[in-house]
Structure 1
């Protein structure tokens, strides 16, 4: 059994699509969405709200942390993890020199999309790694902006992208610095990532 979610700002088109799908396939209309892929949905006249209270509770129960003490920083500050040579192999890619791209997209005061995963390439510098992450973030932002526009929630103004790497920020804004990296011949891959990130950021804005 498969679940299908569809939405449309045009009521006539919405009903026409629903009738055509029900005529073609054996399916039931369950009404407005309340729960899907561990995401709880609350719909009212004031807006649509999504949250994962039930899923978070299940995770805390699974790891016996439901009654743990709350802290602002969940891990020890400055802690550096090292491979245990005598331990079991739980992540053989730990020392593959690949950076991790992490980003969070915020809408108003809530996070609506986030990611934390290893990059597919070995970057030559933190600047290049930041550009890889920024490119992934910008592409996701563009996709989400298009989805929101379809739902008649068009964003006014630019999409702000925050980055904590000063070199990557300067490279994305300053054409002279960009040309210096391009002309040095030391980071051809950085040039490609810079071009992709600059283009994606302009599209997101």
Structure 2
């Protein structure tokens, strides 16, 4: 990786003296991920992978769905009768790999992957809902454009007590470099949160770790511009606790996360900003949302389908 074409060519020649290597030129297809180049930038998708998956499961002729999961879904551990565990695990495993370029299905896949040990018919219905959504947009992917800067910013959110089985919350974050989506995650928290602020704190701590990792990576590549990391959260209580050193007994259960985030704030490497809930991009990583919000957030994330008819 580098910006010196002459040095890159010298390195290739040096490697060719010791190893059997072949220069295939620009990347176009790798492990099911398709790469396209255009005036707007570089586009990543897994269209062929999706179509092969739909053909294998017999879902090519299914009725498309507008979202990968229902808005107020009630997926429980005992939803329906037991189904073939091997088939379910294989199908969910393929969806997990697909989520490498499809943050729009990340939350839905995280929900169905919770029941790999004991899949039921209700869980399989949720998997089929994801496949129906993929039928509506098999070529959707991520566009990376040159926006003239490499500022790092992230959005964090948490769905408090969203899991109906054990009342654990779901954390979600998405990270941008130069307005391009480069990282995202949707995961159920390991402990039960006693308040929305606590759930948001745990999500914020995970998001800050990702921001710091990206900062170190850009610094290693001599691309970091020194701008503070920007973190956006829609929970004002969590933001006030971070900025107010007076809280003591109320925050003992999140003391480590609070001190970790506050340390970065005091050092000037991080800025925590409030964002309104309707503009919270991490919403699609923590819960099912309505069609309108889902479509709007996907557009803001840089997700588009270059194969869709104009």
> Shared fold (TM-score greater than 0.5)?
yes
Selected match of 2:208 from 123, 138, 141: 138
- 1:51-66 equivalence runs, <5 A: 51-62=45-56, 64=59
State the partner residue of 2:4.
10
The answer on whether the counterparts of 1:135 and 1:197 sit within 8 Å (CA) in structure 2 is: yes
Partners of 1:161 and 1:110 in 2: how far apart? Answer: 15
1:125-147 Cα shifts (integer Å, max 9, x gaps): 33222222222222223333555
Partners of 2:27 and 2:175 in 1: how far apart? Answer: 23
Question: Does residue 175 in structure 1 map to residue 241 in structure 2?
Answer: no
* Alpha carbons of structure 1 residues 146 and 10: separation in structure 2 relative to 1, 3 Å: farther
SS in 1 for 2:233: coil
The answer on whether the counterparts of 2:51 and 2:60 sit within 8 Å (CA) in structure 1 is: no
Give the CA deviation at 1:154.
5.5
The size of the alignment, in residue pairs, is 192
State the partner residue of 2:257.
193
- 1:9-158 equivalence runs, <5 A: 9-43=3-37, 47-62=41-56, 64=59, 67-71=62-66, 73-84=67-78, 87-88=81-82, 90-91=115-116, 95-106=165-176, 111-147=181-217, 158=228
Partners of 1:53 and 1:200 in 2: how far apart? Answer: 40
The answer on whether the counterparts of 1:102 and 1:114 sit within 8 Å (CA) in structure 2 is: yes
The RMSD of aligned alpha carbons is 3.7
The answer on whether the counterparts of 1:8 and 1:150 sit within 8 Å (CA) in structure 2 is: no
1:103-134 Cα shifts (integer Å, max 9, x gaps): 22345665332211233444443322222222
The answer on whether the counterparts of 2:200 and 2:235 sit within 8 Å (CA) in structure 1 is: yes
Greater C-alpha Rg: 1
Partners of 2:189 and 2:252 in 1: how far apart? Answer: 18
State the partner residue of 1:162.
232
Query: Relative contact order, CA 8 A, sep 6+: which one is greater?
Result: 2
**Normalising by the residue count of structure 2, what TM-score does the alignment of the two structures yield?**
0.49
**Normalising by the residue count of structure 1, what TM-score does the alignment of the two structures yield?**
0.68
